[in-house]
Chain A
Amino acid sequence: MVEALRSEARLFRDLPAEHEATLIPSLQQLQKEYGYLPPDELQRVAAELGIPHSRVHGVASFYSQFTDTPRGKHTVQVCLGTACHVGGGKGIRDALTQVLGIRPGETTPDGAITLEEVHCLGCCSLAPVIVVDGVAYGRNDRKKALHTLLECCDQESPGS
């Protein structure tokens, strides 16, 4: 009986086609290339995979890595993992929010800096941690965080 139930249960799972596994990597590639997910490209991905656009949008909006607005030239992420929370990460976020005049998740109007909150980068012993353009900096306070960000913005980013 249990066996019969089990095979029934298996039948009831709606399984996607294997090639749909490329959806998330495609979106990651787009996000990397454009800094956001352009709507036309999403349409194209949907057509290529032969799945409804709604499914593509569903996936794109589920994961926090994907954004539908362009990112700034530089991205600063403030870690608010447990150790950083206890160690004062919130103060750094507030200072950056105030100085940049934007909320986490937003980009400055001139397109220079995007501010983000992240939960744990795994450098808890160096809390509070910030990441500027993919490079982590530990043992921050408000002053150090602002200076680090300024330095990174002054330097030409390696790609340009």
Chain B
Amino acid sequence: MIRNHQDLERLREQGHKSLWPDRGKIVVGTASCGLAAGSRAVARKLDQAAREYELDQEVSGTGCLGFCSQEPLVEVRRADGLRVVYPQVDEARAEELAAGLAQGDLSPELAMCRWREASHPTTRYELAAEEIPLQQQIGFYRRQQRVVLRNCGLIDPGSVAEYVSCGGYSGLLATLSTDPENIVETVSRAGLRGRGGAGFPTGRKWGFTRQEPGTRKCVICNADEGDPGAYMDRSILEGDPHAVIEGMAIGAYAIGADEGYIYVRAEYPLAVQRIQEALDQAEELGLLGEGILGSDFSFRLQVKTGAGAFVCGEETALIASIEGRRGMPRPRPPFPAQSGLWGRPTNVNNVETWANVPPILSRGAEWFAETGTSGSSGTKVFSLVGKIKNSGLVEVPMGITIRELVYEVGGGTPDGGRCKAVQTGGPSGGCIPESLFDTPIDFDSLREVGAMMGSGGLVVLGESACMVDMARYFLKFTQGESCGQCPGCRLGTKRMLEILIRITEGRGQEEDLLLLEELATGVREASLCGLGRTAPNPVLTTLRYFKHEYETHVRDRRCPAGVCRALVVYHIDPERCLGCGACRAACPQGAISGEPKKPHTIDPQRCVRCGSCIEACLVEAVKPG
């Protein structure tokens, strides 16, 4: 049991030893993205090789280092603070790495970067490491500032001791001897705004729930991260679950809540498992439950698993879902702060917001507010994905421009081609064209250009993306996820989707564009919750910035990007075609014919435009047009 500062200090020492063991350790990224890239097999191989080569280092797992496109990532760590990270480690490379380590060789040619200046530059290890660039020297990490992701990829998420050794639970300890009112005031002064999308000031929100009468109050962590293209919440829960627990305990103390729920979406089984394990540990150590850390503050926390409904990310729908009902939003007021879960005053924040709380308490509001802009302080985690070279989770100060994020951190498109737009904020956000890439990323600037921060998904779109198709994609999503209770959303999104399908199938009319805009306004104004109110954003922004693409679809019956199947005819460039027959073999329709070593042709009548031939072609001779 941890009851006081001394107990916490003992746990910290224990954690330090396991984080930086004298013999060093080999750490494998085993968050969902690492696992999908095959890190389970790599960890197994490393474990086996470590025994074979009689290496001192043990092999253990950690969360996400952020550079997901380089997964599986493996790190070799030494007691003196040197961390060397290796990208794209497959089983063969793991073997090679282990063989090198057995000889005292860090295999610098395989390394991506080292994480910190070595403190003793005399040993053979550090000399070998000097060739390896420092983390802040490589583009992907140079602009990053890891506050929320501070422990992801460093600690073993299953070890509370390692979390404590990185300063964990010291914020909670300090909180418990402070007046709750002061905690609310500190969070307000830090300028923390909700990271779930709307950007509401967190301190004010806490204050509302605190002021409400009632002896039983709740805090909820919204981990129903539904925006396709955003996955920072998953990564935090998988890589640093105690940060969320500590943040919630601090919030509960400030608000006067005695119970809490973490609502995780069903699609994140590993996150559910890790947060549950962390909860059990915290309870065992007296960091949750009755009389936390020797104080008279009690707080119980439970995990609830979602059942697959995007709309449950809306706070009143989420509450209904925990209560065991259909996840349908209800009108506000009463706000959850007044009448939330079972009528109790309830405060809902998302994962990233809660994870920001412990450092504010342990390092101070002023420290937090130093980063970012005046209206949006702190950092924000983005998932930088799509047509981008360095894709992954990046944490940057608020106020960085889209251009800096895409080109400096992201390294531009993989083929060096033009980047057409970024899509931010998922189905509630919009597409921002390249001409507006100098817009700073903060809550207010993004809203001004018609998009929104959302939870931080940032999908980069290249020339091969069709903006009408993007609008159709998001509308199909929101239409399918609409809970159906208000006609504006239920019928409006359906009609809008029908029009978009018509346009992408080459049956669009000129007046459809006007009708789309009119419907968009109607849906926005007549919907009850955020899902419906923001559903038109992807359509409105693409209409605003990419009207010419809609016009080409409607007037010329052509899809310039070659995405909308009904408007595309595939052909094979006879200049490029080698006549290898790969496309002919791949075609499920038998639509391709040609003599070996002579240019092939596609029969447009039989072609279903599935794209198999494009994927199969070795010389990019098949083109949609």
A residues engaging B (CB < 8 A)? 6, 9-10, 13, 15-16, 18, 20-25, 27-28, 55, 58-59, 62-66, 80-83, 85-88, 91, 94-95, 98, 118-127, 129, 134-139, 141-143
Residues of A within 8 A of B307 (CB): 24, 27-28, 63-66
From B268, B306, B307, name the one whose CB has the most chain A CB atoms within 10 angstroms: B307
Residues of A within 8 A of B228 (CB): 80-83, 85, 119-120
**Structural contact, A85 and B473, CB atoms closer than 8 A:** yes
**Structural contact, B385 and A83, CB atoms closer than 8 A:** yes
- Give the CA-CA distance A153 to B306 in the complex, in Å: 28
**Structural contact, A123 and B309, CB atoms closer than 8 A:** no
Residues of A within 8 A of B615 (CB): 88, 91, 141-143
Question: Which 3 A-B pairs give the minimum distances between C-beta atoms?
Answer: A122-B231, A125-B68, A81-B228
Q: A63-B309, A123-B231, A125-B68 are in contact. List 10 more A-B contacts (CB 8 A).
A: A13-B343, A59-B325, A82-B229, A87-B386, A91-B612, A95-B612, A118-B267, A119-B310, A121-B32, A125-B392
- Give the CA-CA distance A64 to B309 in the complex, in Å: 7
**Structural contact, B268 and A122, CB atoms closer than 8 A:** yes
**Structural contact, B229 and A120, CB atoms closer than 8 A:** yes
From B33, B333, B391, name the one whose CB has the most chain A CB atoms within 10 angstroms: B33
Which among B104-112, B165-173, B316-324 touches the partner chain?
B316-324
Q: What are 23 A-B pairs with beta-carbon distances under 8 A?
A: A10-B343, A20-B323, A21-B324, A27-B307, A28-B307, A62-B327, A66-B307, A81-B228, A82-B426, A83-B386, A86-B461, A91-B615, A119-B310, A119-B477, A120-B267, A122-B33, A123-B33, A124-B229, A126-B33, A126-B68, A136-B32, A136-B36, A138-B71
**Structural contact, A86 and B326, CB atoms closer than 8 A:** no
- Give the CA-CA distance A129 to B383 in the complex, in Å: 16
Nearest CB on A from B244, distance (A): 16
Of A9, A59, A141, which contacts B333 at CB under 8 A? A9
Whether A124 touches B391, Cβ cut-off 8 Å, given contacts A28-B307, A58-B326, is yes
Q: How many residues of B contact A (CB 8 A)?
A: 62
**Structural contact, B68 and A15, CB atoms closer than 8 A:** no
Of B37, B69, B229, B338, which contacts A81 at CB under 8 A? B229
Say yes or no for B371: interface residue by CB 8 A criterion.
no
Whether A21 touches B323, Cβ cut-off 8 Å, given contacts A82-B457, A120-B227, is yes
- A51 to B, closest residue via Cβ: B324
- A23 to B, closest residue via Cβ: B324
Say yes or no for B459: interface residue by CB 8 A criterion.
yes
Of B71, B229, B323, B338, which contacts A83 at CB under 8 A? B229
Say yes or no for B234: interface residue by CB 8 A criterion.
yes
Of A58, A86, A121, which contacts B386 at CB under 8 A? A86
- Give the CA-CA distance A63 to B383 in the complex, in Å: 27
Nearest CB on B from A77, distance (A): 9
Residues of A within 8 A of B562 (CB): none
Residues of A within 8 A of B69 (CB): 125-126
Nearest CB on B from A145, distance (A): 11
Q: Which of B324-365 contact A (CB under 8 A)?
A: 324-327, 330, 333-334, 338-339, 342-343
Residues of B within 8 A of A64 (CB): 307-309
Residues of B within 8 A of A124 (CB): 68, 229, 231, 383, 385-386, 391, 457, 459
Residues of A within 8 A of B386 (CB): 82-83, 86-87, 124
Residues of B within 8 A of A91 (CB): 610-612, 615
Say yes or no for B423: interface residue by CB 8 A criterion.
yes
Say yes or no for B558: interface residue by CB 8 A criterion.
no
Residues of B within 8 A of A25 (CB): 304-305
Contact with A along B442-468 (1 / 0, CB 8 A): 000000000000000101010001000
**Structural contact, A134 and B269, CB atoms closer than 8 A:** yes
**Structural contact, B32 and A122, CB atoms closer than 8 A:** yes
From B305, B326, B392, B423, name the one whose CB has the most chain A CB atoms within 10 angstroms: B326
